[in-house]
Chains A and B, each alone.
Chain A
Amino acid sequence: MSYVPSTPAERQEMLSAVGLKDWRELYRDVPPQMLLTKPLNIPHAMSELEASRAMQALAAQNTQFSLILRGAGAYDHYIPSIVKSVPAKEEFLTAYTPYQAEMSQGVLQSIFEYQTMICELTGMDVSNASVYDGATAAAEAAAACRDRKRRVTLISGAVNPDTIETVRTYCYGTNDELRVIPVKDGKTDPDALNELLTEDVSAVIVQQPNFFGLLEDAEALGEIAHAGGAQYVMSCNPIALGILKTPRECGADLAVGEGQPLGLPLGFGGPYLGYMAATKAMMRKLPGRIVGETTDSNGQRAYVLSLQAREQHIRREKASSNICSNEALCALTAAVYLSVMGPNGLAEAARQCMAKAHYLCEQLTKLPGVERVHSGDYFHEFVTTLPKREQVLAALEAEGILGGLPVEGGVLWCATEKAEKAALDRAVEIVKEVLAK
């Protein structure tokens, strides 16, 4: 099956219309010795039924856990039903970037609304239409902050390691330096930040809550960054922003983050959603698509792709980023999620995540040898020591529970609003049983 509608007779008719005898003549510019002479070494065509069976068999090889206590950048939240059905609508699904505003108002308006929601979450003035994920959003932010004199990026050691390595790779690309700010008791060390802040530092990147789940003293870090003449970039969990101080309130110039918690499935890592928002002063430094409001030839409100003079198709090698395709459908998903949650629903999700995580932490740390590794306030993730770590995690997995992520010094646990008390109690019971053996 190749989804080609034309019949063999029609194909022949079309070939004749072009003045050709057979399809080989279509490829007459290809040096003949390069043409493949035997079929590709991939399986024969399957019917839809057969392919569907084959894929279902692959899906069945994965474990579906009844309780996921692992986060570390990918979070198992409840996804309301409508959040799945809206982005599955075929027009949203099969359109491309809304280059032609006259037949893309639906996509453009949905992006404009998404931009507004991200601005509301972060307190910022302007948001782009999305980048690939939270890690690339941080890397793009680092690039957006650079100028001729200030080239060095500082990133907290308490940022997600995948984000740090992505930013490091982008810095390798442009031959710029990345310095990692040391961590003290799980949080960005302000004194170390102060020492690293030389005159060539362009941006300071921190994560809130950080990789260990801890809440950074974000305002204080921002003040230090600004005192050193650097821009301040905060990468925030968007569900936490339902209750936490906005990056703007913390003094950030750019707010970025991983939008996956906003209604996107875990999906073995993607597609996810990088959100990026900025103060008005940084608007023209933002990479990627931005939708703006204008009027049409009849004077009616209309939406268009705007400020395109920043982008690669206009500026080519002088563009700040090469991004073209983004994660528009994921941004739409996030917008639908935020629309049905509303301000109260989002805050409730955030509070429930926190409540469940704190309950889990209290119960776990009652067990012998299980202690919190850090002392600070936390949101929905925390690190504990864990004796017999491998056995404990295996015992949990055997009962359909994905335990926390093994990290240096213990385990990084996470709980979301999906975790029922009874399920958390059972998980703690299993840990207790293994430790008692």
Chain B
Amino acid sequence: MKLIFEKSVPGRHCDLLGKCDVAAAELPQKYLRATPPELPELSEVDVSRHYTELNQHVHGVNCGFYPLGSCTMKYNPRVDEEMAALPGFTAVHPLAPEAHTRGCRAVLDTAAQYLCEISGMDAMTFQPAAGAHGEFTGVLLIKQYHDARGDTARRKIIVPDSAHGTNPATAAMCGFEVVNIPSAPDGCVDLDALKAALGEDTAGLMLTNPNTVGIFDENILEITKLVHEAGGLCYYDGANLNAVMGVVRPGDMGFDCIHMNLHKTFATPHGGGGPGAGAVGCKEFLKPYLPASALMDGAGKKQVRAFAGNFLVVVRALTYLMTLGCEGVPEAAKNAVLNANYLMQRVKGTFEPAFDRICMHEFVLDLSEYKKETGVSALDVAKSLIDYGMHPPTMYFPLIVHEALMLEPTETESKQTLDWAADVFRKLYALGKTDSETMHAAPHHAQIGRPDEVKAARNPIVRWYNDSETETVRGAGN
């Protein structure tokens, strides 16, 4: 596909603003740029067709099955989009006086109330813009709590080795030392390892439950109790909340604070990478440490971004919650779990689950034996799925399973889709045994063949340059 810059025609433009009806204001030359930015010069039809072409080279949830484990790629209802596009929401300035923004404040208050109920927390902030941002906000609550008590020797955050990379990265951003503890053979927290790690220097524990291998840790009450007894706090990474919402609450598991990914669990679209929203909830005693906006609420609080957060994402999530209601929330969770178990059952006998037991909303296949036997890797299987129009599962995660494929079908897939997906996995399993070469070379019918990632990293070309420019300014790499 041509780049938009390669379609540019000098002098072409769209007429969007019209003539200025007041006198021009001039700035001294010293403030002005030497040359205009080299943006494309196009008519509206050029732009429309360009992006339509790009859009045709994207696989979205609306296109087909997207079992990307830990990302909860559920269907994004259209009505949520329509509500987020209402001018009554989109045209509101974040610094407009309270009397003129009652609707927006009611959206935030109502969503906070519902999410507190679902999570078992007492207070909520929507300032974090994504899951990792929520983790940062949540662990800062823990830091502030210990600091306020003068308990500054608590320098360590415990993270299981099955955790998402964002967990240890977050702890480091909050100035903590990360203590990685190994998982038990069943993928759950190893209580002995946890006990050994706990001490007077423990600030807290970061945990997902169900965990990243899709198993609900049955020792959860013991785990949170042990951390509390050591003087630490418990942070719940809500990445996997879709499995349990409306069924069991993190607050009742003993967690003190939590983030929820509105773009996963509450069906707001992922947008090709974002925007999301990472609502952070906490128990009453942590409420004083929740962030706020200096401009909206006055100084004195911590703050993790401007204004009140990704408000229009919250509008979508609230619309979704209204349509689900108290009946739909647990119904979604139960069907997410049912779908995962059904798909696992249908795939079993070919690629084997890493943990052969009832799973939650996702499960992990372990292809290490299969690879030994056939030479076909998890990557090869993933790339082969693309030829069937299925988005591959999450690959090579969690790190505790080698040759991992992590599947999360979500509740919005039908039995027919799951049957079809299972058949595809079974076919590929058989293909790898007879014709591994075909799978090593997959995909065969995709937008592109396998890209050379090593080349991209060694010789980084990270922006387009006009060919008429000299070689000396070309290329950001060496």
Is A227 on the interface with B (CB-CB < 8 A)? no
Binds B, one of A169-177, A180-188, A428-436: A169-177
A-B contact count, CB below 8 Å? 722
17 other A-B residue contacts (CB within 8 Å) besides A3-B412, A94-B269: A2-B328, A11-B338, A26-B338, A55-B318, A58-B110, A62-B101, A94-B62, A94-B76, A95-B60, A116-B463, A165-B299, A242-B36, A268-B312, A269-B307, A292-B460, A325-B130, A341-B16
Sample of 5 A–B contacts (CB below 8 Å)? A1-B325, A2-B327, A65-B93, A166-B306, A325-B270
A314-346 residues at the B interface, CB under 8 angstroms: 314-319, 321-330, 332, 335-336, 338-346
Is A197 on the interface with B (CB-CB < 8 A)? no
Is A368 on the interface with B (CB-CB < 8 A)? no
The answer to whether residues A343 and B323 also contact, given A165-B299, A268-B101, A291-B462 and a CB cut-off of 8 A, is no
A217-260 residues at the B interface, CB under 8 angstroms: 241-246, 249, 258
Q: How far is the CA of A314 from the CA of B457 in the complex (A)?
A: 14
Is A417 on the interface with B (CB-CB < 8 A)? yes
**Per a CB cutoff under 8 Å, which of A31, A59, A88, A98 touches B89?**
A59
**Per a CB cutoff under 8 Å, which of B1, B32, B338 touches A15?**
B338
Is A349 in contact with B17, judged by CB distance below 8 angstroms?
yes
Is A421 in contact with B37, judged by CB distance below 8 angstroms?
no
Is B117 on the interface with A (CB-CB < 8 A)? yes
B1 cross-chain contacts in A, Cβ below 8 A: 105, 109
Query: B-facing mask of A99-137, CB < 8 A → 1, else 0?
Result: 111111111011111011101110101110110111110
**Per a CB cutoff under 8 Å, which of B5, B275, B346 touches A113?**
B5
Q: Which residue of B lies closest to A298 (CB)?
A: B449
**Per a CB cutoff under 8 Å, which of B272, B302, B411 touches A92?**
B272
Most B CB contacts (10 A, CB to CB) among A29, A215, A298, A302 go to A29
Q: How far is the CA of A270 from the CA of B52 in the complex (A)?
A: 26
Is A62 in contact with B100, judged by CB distance below 8 angstroms?
yes
Is A249 in contact with B22, judged by CB distance below 8 angstroms?
no
**Per a CB cutoff under 8 Å, which of B88, B215, B318 touches A60?**
B88
Q: How far is the CA of A266 from the CA of B81 in the complex (A)?
A: 16
Q: Which residue of B lies closest to A79 (CB)?
A: B90
Q: Which residue of A lies closest to B89 (CB)?
A: A59
A261 to chain B, nearest CB (A): 13
Is A405 on the interface with B (CB-CB < 8 A)? yes
Q: How far is the CA of A166 from the CA of B309 in the complex (A)?
A: 12
Query: A-facing mask of B82-104, CB < 8 A → 1, else 0?
Result: 11011111111111110111111
Is B107 on the interface with A (CB-CB < 8 A)? yes
Most A CB contacts (10 A, CB to CB) among B102, B172, B341 go to B172
Is A43 on the interface with B (CB-CB < 8 A)? yes
Binds A, one of B190-198, B243-251, B366-374: B243-251
Q: How far is the CA of A86 from the CA of B296 in the complex (A)?
A: 32
B148 cross-chain contacts in A, Cβ below 8 A: none
B100 cross-chain contacts in A, Cβ below 8 A: 62-63, 65, 397, 402
Most A CB contacts (10 A, CB to CB) among B103, B168, B244 go to B103
Is B433 on the interface with A (CB-CB < 8 A)? no
Is A127 in contact with B71, judged by CB distance below 8 angstroms?
no
A13 to chain B, nearest CB (A): 7
Q: How far is the CA of A352 from the CA of B25 in the complex (A)?
A: 8
A366 to chain B, nearest CB (A): 15
Binds A, one of B227-235, B279-287, B424-432, B439-447: B439-447
Is B129 in contact with A359, judged by CB distance below 8 angstroms?
no
Q: How far is the CA of A348 from the CA of B394 in the complex (A)?
A: 46
Is B183 on the interface with A (CB-CB < 8 A)? no
A1-53 residues at the B interface, CB under 8 angstroms: 1-6, 10-11, 13-15, 17-20, 23, 25-31, 34-36, 39-48, 50-52
Q: How far is the CA of A127 from the CA of B463 in the complex (A)?
A: 8
Query: A-facing mask of B290-305, CB < 8 A → 1, else 0?
Result: 0101111001011111
A268 cross-chain contacts in B, Cβ below 8 A: 89, 92-94, 101, 104, 307-308, 311-312
